[in-house]
Structure 1
Amino acid sequence: MDISIKLLIIMIAVLLTGLSAGLCFTWTNAVTPGIGRLDNVSYLQAFQAMNRAIINPTFMVVFFGAFIAQLVSVILWKNASSTIILLLIAATLLYFFGLVIVTIFGNVPLNELLDQTNIANASAEELQQLRNQFEVRWNRFHFIRTITSTLSFGSLLIALIHIAKYQTNS
């Protein structure tokens, strides 16, 4: 296969993974601490609004596109040095299990629980109970996503360095 196609695919993987890691980092360091300071009604309403807004075509392309581009990169670079292939596999596994799977089976069910709640009609006690059930667990899952997406991004960057060396020596 033409080297330019292989490089293009891995660059797409790096870009999309970097965007995902940046989104996770921003939520961990600014969004969740910021809204965490709000009262229960404001917190739950803000989270509902953000969860509804984030499900859009751009997010879906970045979120799933990163994994697809990583997977394709593993296939395209399978004959590269063991260091390169191991870094690409590590990046793909970190992203898949730490971001995709944790999101689908950890954060999304909590988002759906929150989305099904009519906050305007809930009592103060119900709002506190919902926030207690949601906030700590969601943040814990999200921290996993932040760490693993960042490690995935870093692994891809290191793989690129090795690819540059590999190409120079070929």
Structure 2
Amino acid sequence: MIDGALFVVVLVGALVCAVSAGALYAFSSFVMKGLTALPPAQGIAAMQAINRAAPGPAFMVAFLGGALLSAVIAVFTLVSWPGEGGPLLLVGCALYLFGMLGISAVAHFPRNDALDKVDPEAPASAAYWRDWAREWTRWNHIRTAAALAAATLFVLALVR
């Protein structure tokens, strides 16, 4: 059974990963639908404002905290191998680090930076917005599932 400091780190890691998954789920389930229902110029302007506000402390604690805790959990797990729940913990760490943080770095940050340079009122912006929102949301579904799966695996490792 996982106990001591590792128990606390895994429990907090599960909670932080779940919070990240919840924030991302909100985007996949209704935020992007609401933004794409607006006229394109308004949707673009709103998403640009969201992307500028997102790197604030409230979201970044969960977003990067999950990555930091996943890295710590992976090191603890590898050092104490073979321990209870080791495979579950390592897969959970990989899901968060690669499936959530990695996808964010490869699929979302560049798209967000590109959208920031778009003039919402330009004639070509409407078509760009439709394609951008579809691709951004598709990748967001994947990173949402990865963060939720990481949280689930951390919890399962704790209850073994």
Same fold (TM > 0.5): yes
Indicate the residue corresponding to 1:161 in structure 2: 159
Indicate the residue corresponding to 1:35 in structure 2: 35
Indicate the residue corresponding to 1:167 in structure 2: none
Q: How does 1:29-68 map to 2 (within 5 A)?
A: 29-68=29-68
Whichever residue aligns with residue 141 of structure 1, its letter is W
**Structure 2: tracts of 5 or more residues without a match:** none
Shift of residue 76, structure 1, vs aligned partner: 2.3
Structure possessing the higher relative contact order (Cα contacts under 8 Å, 6 or more residues apart):
2
**Structure 1: tracts of 5 or more residues without a match:** 163-170
Shift of residue 32, structure 1, vs aligned partner: 1.1
Structural RMSD (CA): 1.7
The TM-score, its normalising length taken from structure 2, stands at 0.89
Whichever residue aligns with residue 149 of structure 1, its letter is A
* Cα offsets for 1:55-81 (capped at 9, x unmatched): 112322211111211221232244365
Which one has the largest radius of gyration? 1
Q: Is the 8 A contact 2:13 2:66 kept in 1?
A: yes
* Cα offsets for 1:9-53 (capped at 9, x unmatched): 112211111111111111111211222211111111111111111
Q: How does 1:19-168 map to 2 (within 5 A)?
A: 19-78=19-78, 79=80, 84-120=85-121, 122-123=122-123, 126-162=124-160
The TM-score, its normalising length taken from structure 1, stands at 0.85
Indicate the residue corresponding to 1:168 in structure 2: none
Q: How does 1:11-22 map to 2 (within 5 A)?
A: 11-22=11-22
Aligned length: 157
